[in-house]
Amino acid sequence: MSLLAISWDVVGVKVGQLLLSLSILVILHEFGHYITARWFGCRVERFFLFFDPWFSLFKKKVGDTVYGIGWLPLGGYVKISGMIDESMDKEQLALPPEPWEFRSKPAWQRLIIMIGGVTVNILLAFIIYAGILMVWGEKKIVNASLKYGIEVQDSLMLELGFKDGDKVVALDGKPVENYYDVIPTLILSSTATIERNGQQQTLTMPRNLIGKLVEKKRRDVPLIGIRYPMMIGADTGVSARYGWKRFDKVIAINGKPTAFFTDAVAVMEQHKNKQVNFTLLRNADTLQSTVQLDSTGYVADLRIIGKPESLEEAGVVDYEVIKYGFFAAIPAGIRMAGDKLSWYIDQFKMILSPETEAYKGVGGFKAMGNVFPGSWDWESFWTITAFFSIVLAFMNLLPIPALDGGHVLFTLVEMITGRKPNQKFLEYAQVVGMVLLLGLMLYANGNDWLGWGREK
């Protein structure tokens, strides 16, 4: 299979995961509006997954509602009779209100209908996170346990003062317990306390760290990784042929010391399609082997230790997987959703701050698709979908006309003042909100594909 074919396979898997994730989130979000509208006796005219300008892929009328699938995967909608929405159905709004229309309902009922979608998204995140904790568990690499410290994988981190072997002790003065929290917290931090050669020192992070990452187009490159030696991962197959055992360490290649995995890879890449001499360490004994490298500079089919579970067995890190029972998973899922929401709000604040230049990292559907792995993995899929559900809930609550938050704002004003906003005002606000949202969507997707706002 060619590299191009493999690449398109990866794209197909990413697109498939994105479409499935968005479909789940959109259907359930709109169902939140649909079911609450039905509870209060509103007529729902249309319930669509994706938008359907000019035509739809599928539609079927059941009772008063047309259910369907549109061709434009930018979201979805329910059309509730008597409500000023993206359909801008002015003819219906010009007629006297009917009992089954949204505008005829008391403000408190309209408020519940408008927050129905967000409520479902929040509950969905709780449920997914609780399910993840029950099925796959909460995973933790004890940050203090990294035997060899971190490995710098992005040149920007070198510019910021990080070096191979450093241990990240604290960020903004707060100790980091889980290594998996280091990178997400680092990009939002102003200081990093590191341990280097047994001494602690503090590095200052630039306010525009996210902007720098985007400028260098490094969003797909990890900032740091775990530092560890190259170790044999199995006693069978290629290893058996050479007489290697699991956990044997490759300490030199052609006489050049290779204390760590990256050292070994760097030497091997210089000897593609050639034979090299491996020096391995087993306990206190050293072994010599002549090895044939392939065109990539690797030993074909050789298994190398690298996963957290095997790194723990090798004594490089302490790795924990905590699985929760049903009742324990519920509060833990709520806590996890709360932590993710807090992190996203901090990131959102940075986007709104020009000095951080975080706006350069705003992405659209391409960025969303790239979050998913290149091979189908249900744990990753549900973890990402839960986070997207939180993002969807938060973004929809923003007080922007055309979003749920805009309708909620106007309804709350009505409940406080006792006066309904003028219908013409609501119509104009809806148009302004739609234009603003379309502009933001255009910018985000243009940033994805054309790099708008980034330095060339």
H-assigned helices in 146-298: 155-159, 182-186, 209-215, 238-242, 261-268
Do 22 and 117 belong together in one domain? yes
- Give me the mean pLDDT over the 342-360 stretch: 76
In the DSSP assignment, the letter for residue 145 is: G
Among 202, 228, 254, where does a domain finish? 228
Do 124 and 247 belong together in one domain? no
375 within a domain of the structure (yes/no): no
173 within a domain of the structure (yes/no): yes
251 within a domain of the structure (yes/no): yes
Do 218 and 245 belong together in one domain? no
CATH number at residue 147: 2.30.42
Among 228, 249, 279, where does a domain finish? 228
Among the residue ranges 115-124, 218-227, 314-323, the one predicted with the least confidence is 218-227
Q: Number of structural domains, the chain?
A: 3
CATH number at residue 242: 2.30.42.10
128 within a domain of the structure (yes/no): yes
H-assigned helices in 98-181: 107-135, 155-159
Q: What's the rounded Cα separation, in Å, for the pair 38 and 214?
A: 45
Higher pLDDT residue, 440 or 99?
99
- Enter the pTM of the model: 0.85
Q: What's the rounded Cα separation, in Å, for the pair 191 and 380?
A: 30
Do 223 and 245 belong together in one domain? no
Q: Is the pLDDT of residue 36 over 80?
A: yes
Q: Is the pLDDT of residue 9 over 90?
A: no
Higher pLDDT residue, 442 or 136?
136
11 falls in which pLDDT band (50, 70, 90)? confident
In the DSSP assignment, the letter for residue 179 is: G
Q: pLDDT tens digits for 274-291?
A: 999 999 999 999 999 999
| pLDDT score, position 194 | 96
Q: What is the dihedral of CA 375, 381, 387, 393, to 10 degrees?
A: 120
* Residue 49: strand pairing partners: 69, 76
Residue 397's domain spans which residues?
Answer: 3-134+380-450
Do 18 and 73 belong together in one domain? yes
41 within a domain of the structure (yes/no): yes
72 within a domain of the structure (yes/no): yes
Do 52 and 147 belong together in one domain? no
| pLDDT score, position 86 | 60
- Give me the mean pLDDT over the 138-150 stretch: 95
Higher pLDDT residue, 421 or 127?
127
Q: pLDDT tens digits for 173-187?
A: 999 999 999 988 988
In the DSSP assignment, the letter for residue 421 is: P
Q: What's the rounded Cα separation, in Å, for the pair 292 and 300?
A: 9
Q: pLDDT tens digits for 189-208?
A: 999 999 999 999 999 988 87
- Give me the mean pLDDT over the 332-351 stretch: 88
Q: Is the pLDDT of residue 244 over 60?
A: yes
Do 99 and 26 belong together in one domain? yes
Do 83 and 163 belong together in one domain? no
Chain centroid offset of residue 413 CA: 35
Do 37 and 113 belong together in one domain? yes
| pLDDT score, position 249 | 96
336 within a domain of the structure (yes/no): no
Do 179 and 104 belong together in one domain? no
3-state secondary structure of 61: strand
Q: Is the pLDDT of residue 386 over 80?
A: yes
In the DSSP assignment, the letter for residue 447 is: H
Do 129 and 162 belong together in one domain? no
254 falls in which pLDDT band (50, 70, 90)? very high
Among 193, 228, 263, where does a domain finish? 228
Q: What's the rounded Cα separation, in Å, for the pair 18 and 16?
A: 5
Q: Is the pLDDT of residue 172 over 90?
A: yes
Do 48 and 148 belong together in one domain? no
- Give me the mean pLDDT over the 425-450 stretch: 77
68 within a domain of the structure (yes/no): yes
Rounded (5°) CA angle 306-379-125: 135
326 falls in which pLDDT band (50, 70, 90)? very high
Q: What's the rounded Cα separation, in Å, for the pair 364 and 352?
A: 17
